Structure 1
Amino acid sequence: MDAHAWDERYAASDLVWSAEPNRFVAEHTADLPPGTAVDLAAGEGRNALHLARRGWRVTAVDFSQTGLDKGRAVAGDLPVTWVRADATGWVAPTPVDLVVVAYLQLPASQRGAAVRNAFASLAPGGTLLWVAHDSTNLAEGTGGPQDPAVLMTAADVLADLGAEARYDVVAAGRVAREVTETGHRRDSGDVTVTAWDCLVRVVRATG
């Protein structure tokens, strides 16, 4: 899906995604002291806004101007800079303490470029947090893209970093995300089902 298609999707509803941050982004940044951050492929900026409310100075990057405009409208005086750019070609002009990438679902070659750009944006000691729909979600989970070419595993993301990257792995694996769905039968009510995500958290080496 290109930027124009995402512009149309974001324009078609008040919020495409939840106003709340992704649960894994909230959990895995809670122990980090606020500093400078990038929300890469930020969409409507829910994770960027969450970080800014916690004291981070955030750059939200997305190729959809409509998505960025929606986030800017909510941000008010929060310290967020909104940048229209493609995640596969953008690197932070000044190294940052945190890069968050949530549900950027791309074919392998494009994903690899985004992973390496995200890592290149980090200062030594900075954290990269990558969350995406896991490859196993197609057969074992619910929701998410149905094209296996844009799904991935934590091992794929680590491999994308390349042999020259120096980092410490804090977390890398498959994580369960509980989703509430409305039952298809009139008498079945809401049901809780499991979606499977991959999560990678690494810290760029300081040496």
Structure 2
Amino acid sequence: MNPSAWISQHAHTLTPGSVIDIAAGSGRHAFLFADLGFQVTAVDINPEVAAMYSDTSIAFENLDLEGSQWPLCGQQFDVVLVSNYLYRPHLPALIQLVAPEGHLLYETFGLGNERYGKPSNPNFLLKQHELASALGSQFLILDERFEAVTDPTPAVRAGIFARRLK
């Protein structure tokens, strides 16, 4: 699967640094950022995807991001990347991963996607402006989306590209 066009567009505007790809799966975005010169850490609960990262410059961590304890406490990255993943209980901790003057690049499904198929559970669908509200005044919103799309398949996509202020 190719990287998201929206994520790719914003990735190309960033200065290489450290990136964490949350719920990275097979790494379509982790590999994009590695190709752009970033130091990438890919995190996923599925240990079977670890083999995809062997013999690459990408560090893979097999972590459960939905347990009672947030496994990434105290870490910060220049870019925090999330695609097609939403777990609200740890959203505040995820936001804390963004280093000062770092960026959050987050894209997933939005409320209304149930018209097109899965995911249809509202627990996995962002509300319009939900991420912007969660970021508050500590971030500058550079781009925000909440729209029905047809490519690559019909869906409601929601996302935010934001920079943490000093």
For the aligned pair, the TM-score class normalised by the smaller chain equals 0.7 to 0.9
The one of 11, 22, 30 equivalent to 2:12 is: 30
Aligned equivalents of 1:62, 1:150: Cα separation in 2:
17
Q: 1:81 — aligned with what? A: 59
The one of 35, 41, 64 equivalent to 1:59 is: 41
Q: 1:71 — aligned with what? A: 52
Aligned equivalents of 1:154, 1:45: Cα separation in 2:
27
Q: Could you report, residue by residue, the CA deviation over 1:106-146 in whole angstroms, capped at 9, with x for unpaired residues?
A: 4xxxx241x2222211111100011111102223xx23312
Task: Supply the RMSD in Å over aligned alpha carbons.
Answer: 2.1
Contact 1:112 1:157 in 2 (8 A): no
Q: 1:178 — aligned with what? A: 150
Structure 2 CA distance for partners of 1:154 and 1:70, relative to 1, 3 Å: farther
Contact 2:140 2:165 in 1 (8 A): yes
SS of aligned partner of 2:37? coil
Q: 1:13 — aligned with what? A: none
Contact 1:125 1:204 in 2 (8 A): yes
The one of 127, 130, 138 equivalent to 2:106 is: 130
SS of aligned partner of 2:129? helix
| Max Rg structure | 1
Aligned equivalents of 1:177, 1:100: Cα separation in 2:
21
Q: 1:148 — aligned with what? A: 122
Structure 1 runs of 4+ aligned residues shifted over 3 Å read none
* TM-score, normalised by the number of residues in structure 1: 0.70
Structure 2 CA distance for partners of 1:44 and 1:120, relative to 1, 3 Å: same
* TM-score, normalised by the number of residues in structure 2: 0.86
Aligned equivalents of 1:28, 1:177: Cα separation in 2:
18
Q: Give the percent of matched residue pairs that are identical in Structure 1 and Structure 2.
A: 23
Structure 1's unaligned 5+ residue stretches are 1-17, 181-192
Q: Which amino acid aligns with 1:194?
A: P
Q: Which amino acid aligns with 1:21?
A: P
Contact 2:41 2:60 in 1 (8 A): yes
Structure 2 CA distance for partners of 1:70 and 1:177, relative to 1, 3 Å: farther
- Count of aligned positions: 163
